[in-house]
């Protein structure tokens, strides 16, 4: 019995020692969870005392929101707090759906103008046209109303009515429109068609629910209606991404079943997983070109990266954004949400294309791009070298197209938009979108339209000269170079009329796109723009050249 009793005492002593050690370890100052609990206590006590004794009343919601925003500054830009009133925005990002009337607006001065009407939307059904001015909604004047306030009134639950008074921009006649709000579904495939007679073209604007099914359907229809199809262009330029699952489904349209498209890895290892294609593809042989630019991000990069890693197609355009982070929404009290980055994603070759390192900050708190020295090299299926840490590098680089300063000014001041409105009311019909073209006489009308308009602007060179002049004054060099600066300024002085003629081709194209949009809406605008789109032209040339296409996909 004594032996047993002694053993029990030793066992109890050992357990007490382990509990004591464990307790010291668990609640050590260095322990992460203790630090969290400690600082939460301090934070709560601090707020309680501040709220109780501060001389003035403090708004609790505003104060707490500032605290949340301060915490979020330590994370990446994609981690965010979503208040209950903003849940519709979160839903729209995932589904592409919202309750409203289906139109875009622009407020300039006193009034708000309809700039775009979505095909098949309540606005379209009611006969509302781009250029119409919103006078009132539900009996309340919209004069001097902020654009955000007008937009808020246009939105609403599907099935709710809206009475609008609209003014014709040319005749000034006011008309009442009774509109019933609907669930607006902004389609992720905004256009699909054929370029140059035998190249399919599909434009994707986002990755929301059913995006993959839409792309699958578009490719199938293109193949069915064009038996001699030589290739397909998938345009992901300006596409900010969206749902990861939909990116896998889109890739599956061109990549065989049971192939790894992307894998995710984060701090919570149980959440790590690989995403494989689940269905039979539509086509694995048809030559494919994917267009990207610096605004192609997230899910767009998953599709482009998997197609590049598997040598299924060529990437054309500019380097993509470089967002290799995955967000998950977590529920919070009072119907709010936390959208939090939980993992990084990796393409089939094993590379993470995340370009900005948010885990290591500069002294000023800013985050920097991953330096070239830290970027690793991976290999595609054919052995081509690809790198991580910098987005998706295109196989064929095409310089971005920049429009002139005069064109920017004409767009910003709505002169191109307003001329298109006048043109629409003077011409009941026009040619089909791809073939429509303004004549020199039409452009002459535009020049006369601008005669009494102020579209003055400073060129980039003039802005640079102004900056140099200010710097020279601060550094006491200005007096010695005044003459030279004046001579240079005189040489650079631009003539608005000459700038208009010098950039005639570019401005005509912008006018044609805006005019076509009045008759054929967004699909017409896209169809018209394909004629002079440099990236599309490069893709068509590549897909028409089987030898070049194979060379681009071969190991260098």
Catalytic-role residue among 80, 235, 309, 395:
309
* Three-point CA angle 85, 87, 89, nearest 5°: 105
Catalytic-role residue among 323, 418, 499, 529:
323
Catalytic-role residue among 121, 211, 298, 529:
298
How far, in Å, CA of 114 to CA of 103, rounded? 7
Contacts of range 438-441, beta carbons closer than 8 Å, 24 or more positions apart: 438/508, 438/511, 438/512, 438/515
Contact between residue 354 and residue 389 where contact means Cβ atoms under 8 Å apart: yes
Q: Rounded to the nearest 5°, which phi and psi values hold at 255? A: -120, 140
Element (H, E) at 552: helix 546-552
Is 300 considered catalytic here?
A: no
Q: Rounded to the nearest 5°, which phi and psi values hold at 205? A: -105, -20
How far, in Å, CA of 422 to CA of 453, rounded? 15
How far, in Å, CA of 343 to CA of 274, rounded? 12
Is 311 considered catalytic here?
A: no
How far, in Å, CA of 335 to CA of 79, rounded? 17
Strands (E), 9-128: 80-82, 97-100, 103-108, 111-117
- 229: its two tokens: 């199809």
> What dihedral angle (degrees, nearest 10) is formed by the CA atoms of 515, 521, 526, 529?
0
Coil, helix or strand at residue 374? helix
- 539: its two tokens: 């893709």
Contact between residue 167 and residue 421 where contact means Cβ atoms under 8 Å apart: no
Is 263 considered catalytic here?
A: no
How far, in Å, CA of 384 to CA of 377, rounded? 10
Indicate the pairing of strand 314-317 with strand 288-292: parallel
Q: How far is CA 82 from the centre of its chain?
A: 19
How far, in Å, CA of 420 to CA of 515, rounded? 5
Of 322, 371, 326, 373, nearest to 351 by C-alpha is 322
> Given its phi and psi angles, is residue 34 left (phi above 0), alpha (psi -120 to 50 degrees) or beta?
alpha
Return the number of other C-beta atoms located less than 10 Å from residue 350's C-beta: 13
Contact between residue 170 and residue 518 where contact means Cβ atoms under 8 Å apart: no
Element (H, E) at 18: helix 2-26
How far, in Å, CA of 61 to CA of 83, rounded? 11
Catalytic residue IDs: 298, 309, 323
């Amino acid at each position: 019995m004594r032996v047993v009793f002694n053993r029990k005492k030793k066992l109890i002593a050992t357990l007490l020692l382990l509990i004591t050690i464990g307790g010291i370890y668990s609640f050590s100052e260095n322990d992460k969870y203790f630090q969290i609990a400690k600082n939460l206590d301090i934070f709560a006590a601090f707020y309680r005392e501040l709220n109780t004794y501060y001389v003035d009343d403090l708004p609790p919601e505003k104060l707490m929101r500032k605290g949340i925003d301060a915490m979020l500054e330590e994370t990446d830009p994609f981690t965010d707090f979503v208040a209950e009133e903003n849940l519709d925005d979160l839903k729209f990002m995932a589904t592409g759906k919202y309750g409203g009337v289906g139109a875009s607006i622009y407020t300039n001065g006193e009034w708000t103008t309809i700039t775009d009407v979505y095909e098949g939307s309540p606005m379209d059904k009611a006969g509302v046209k781009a250029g119409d001015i919103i006078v009132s909604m539900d009996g309340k004047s919209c004069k001097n109303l902020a654009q955000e306030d007008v937009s808020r009134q246009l939105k609403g639950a599907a099935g709710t009515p809206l009475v609008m008074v609209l003014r014709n921009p040319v005749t000034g006649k006011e008309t009442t429109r009774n509109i019933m709000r609907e669930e607006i579904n902004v389609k992720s495939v905004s256009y699909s068609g054929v370029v140059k007679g035998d190249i399919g073209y599909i434009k994707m604007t986002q990755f929301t629910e059913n995006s993959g099914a839409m792309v699958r359907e578009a490719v199938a229809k293109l193949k069915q209606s064009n038996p001699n199809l030589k290739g397909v262009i998938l345009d992901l330029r300006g596409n900010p991404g969206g749902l990861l699952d939909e990116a896998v489904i889109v890739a599956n349209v061109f990549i065989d079943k049971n192939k790894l498209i992307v894998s995710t890895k984060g701090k919570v290892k149980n959440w790590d997983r690989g995403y494989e294609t689940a269905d039979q593809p539509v086509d694995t042989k048809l030559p494919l070109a994917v267009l990207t630019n610096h605004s192609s991000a997230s899910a767009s990069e998953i599709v482009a990266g998997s197609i590049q890693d598997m040598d299924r197609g060529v990437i054309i355009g500019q380097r993509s954004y470089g967002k290799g982070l995955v967000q998950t929404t977590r529920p919070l009290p009072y119907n709010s949400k936390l959208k939090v980055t939980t993992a990084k994603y990796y393409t089939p070759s094993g590379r993470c294309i995340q370009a900005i390192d948010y885990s290591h900050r500069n002294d000023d708190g800013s985050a920097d791009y991953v330096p070239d020295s830290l970027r690793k090299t991976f290999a595609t299926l054919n052995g081509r070298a690809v790198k991580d840490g910098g987005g998706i590098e295109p196989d064929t680089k095409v310089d971005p197209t920049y429009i002139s300063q005069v064109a920017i000014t004409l767009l910003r001041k709505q002169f191109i938009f307003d001329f298109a409105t006048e043109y629409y009311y003077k011409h009941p019909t026009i040619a089909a979108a791809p073939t429509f073209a303004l004549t020199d006489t039409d452009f002459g009308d535009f020049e006369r339209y601008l005669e009494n308009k102020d579209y003055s602007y400073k060129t980039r060179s003039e802005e640079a000269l102004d900056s140099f002049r200010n710097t020279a004054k601060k550094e006491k060099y200005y007096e010695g170079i005044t003459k030279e600066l004046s001579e240079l300024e005189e040489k650079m002085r631009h003539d608005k009329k000459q700038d208009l003629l010098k950039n005639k081709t570019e401005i005509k194209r912008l006018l044609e796109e805006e005019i076509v949009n009045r008759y054929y809406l967004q699909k017409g605008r896209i169809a018209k723009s394909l004629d002079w789109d440099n990236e599309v032209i490069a893709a068509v040339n590549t897909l028409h050249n089987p030898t070049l296409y194979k060379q681009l996909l071969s190991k260098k």
